[in-house]
Structure 1
């Protein structure tokens, strides 16, 4: 993604700018928007790495620090792999073939090849794919970038997200759930975080007039689990939870501000 990106609201009267360096979304009036990623982050308690490592250490007998270092290494590997492959997919969609990365090793060649095939299959399904589509809601001061905004026709769309993580669990550590009214019943696990994020983007698209309110919008993940293949994962409908999260970004119930 470029260091600075701009987008115009469907109304045509407002523009927003995103800067990669500080991950900020700011509109023409200088108002800063909360990212979809940040909304999700705030809806769940911070992950206690030390406690999780200690629990695994107790079960396995391995030192807790080994787990912490292992998780850190996996995270860095997935981040690097994801960035380069993601950018290759974007450039393939845009037909900017001169910007494609050359594989650094056999593992990356396999990953690039698998991603190339996925994009080709998606292009056969959808009439148009917009990579890194920036969307924002002046009503709720929420913004985000959609990996793939896909069109079938004027009443049927899809939102797709690339994920490069070794595991995509649906069950949370210790049975934890969210800490927001919208997420009290949702497991604190990666799958549900990503599901909420895509539902938020769908809500923005409809509320702000990017697409008709009654349009069908499918949600999916393309998950590369480092075995040479992508898994197509359909995302469930969490529209009510998504709407509550974005509404809470600009409203309060007043209960914590009782003046006596």
Structure 2
């Protein structure tokens, strides 16, 4: 992992921009932003308007109240990510229920005699001008192969698109426009960068969907041909 983890690249969190110490003028698109362009943009105002006007459970909420709820959920997800990173690095106990669920899953399923854990690993490709942060990499000590993990704290992982909507680009038009495929494409892009820029062997890509009591394991296929098509836009 020493050839992957680098002090040269860092993330400006507020701006969500990746920078190189050795080349401050270098610019990168985050992997998250890159994948988003292949699907319909999320219009928070329009979605909130539709929900409060047509879904009974949101009928007593204003548009702004619903958007504030989404913001709070995103902030909570960030907190859980940070708690799990600190737990892995220092053993600090998570306080949030979903952080505790993630910790318990690691204890029960990852044998630290066989694997080494690396949280929040930044990878990049200067040629493609892409960079991203992998929530967790588990490296098998004997084989060197990697497991890629993506923590998710949202309410549900949808494998079907609303009203059958698909990606909006020829590279993604075969994919349902649902969060499972968004996450799968992002993990696949990480895999592509690791295999082609870092000469790594990837064993699995996994979404760990956390709720208050447990972690649900969702395996993701490697969307290799899709990623190749997506990268043609660069």
TM-score, scaled to structure 1: 0.76
Instruction: Say if 2:105 is the partner of 1:118.
Output: yes
Task: Quote the Cα distance in structure 1 between the aligned partners of 2:210 and 2:64.
Answer: 22
Task: Quote the Cα distance in structure 2 between the aligned partners of 1:167 and 1:74.
Answer: 16
Contact 2:146 2:203 in 1 (8 A): yes
Contact 1:93 1:119 in 2 (8 A): no
Deviation at 1:38, TM superposition (A): 0.4
Instruction: Report the equivalent of 1:78.
Output: 73
Give the 3 Å change call, closer, same or farther, for CA 146–122 of structure 1 in structure 2: farther
Instruction: Say if 2:230 is the partner of 1:239.
Output: no
Q: Deviations over 1:138-189 (max 9, x none)?
A: 2211110000111124352110010000111112222211112211111111
Task: Quote the Cα distance in structure 2 between the aligned partners of 1:219 and 1:67.
Answer: 38
1:58-97 matches, within 5 Å, as: 60=55, 66=61, 68-69=63-64, 71-97=66-92
Instruction: Report the equivalent of 1:4.
Output: none
Task: Quote the Cα distance in structure 1 between the aligned partners of 2:137 and 2:217.
Answer: 16
Of 136, 139, 146, the residue aligned with 1:148 is 136
Give the 3 Å change call, closer, same or farther, for CA 56–79 of structure 1 in structure 2: closer
SS in 2 for 1:113: helix
Give the 3 Å change call, closer, same or farther, for CA 155–240 of structure 1 in structure 2: farther
Instruction: Report the equivalent of 1:44.
Output: 39
1:1-260 matches, within 5 Å, as: 15-27=8-20, 28-29=22-23, 30-49=25-44, 51-52=46-47, 60=55, 66=61, 68-69=63-64, 71-97=66-92, 100=93, 103=95, 108=96, 110-124=97-111, 126-152=114-140, 153-211=142-200, 215-226=201-212, 228-249=213-234
SS in 2 for 1:133: strand
Give the 3 Å change call, closer, same or farther, for CA 55–96 of structure 1 in structure 2: closer
* Paired residue total: 229
- Unaligned stretches of 5+ residues in structure 1: 1-7, 250-260
RMSD: 2.9
Q: Deviations over 1:199-222 (max 9, x none)?
A: 0000000110241xxx34300011
Runs of 4+ in 1 over 6 A off after TM superposition: 61-65
TM-score, scaled to structure 2: 0.83
Task: Quote the Cα distance in structure 2 between the aligned partners of 1:184 and 1:204.
Answer: 22
Deviation at 1:58, TM superposition (A): 7.2
Deviation at 1:18, TM superposition (A): 2.1
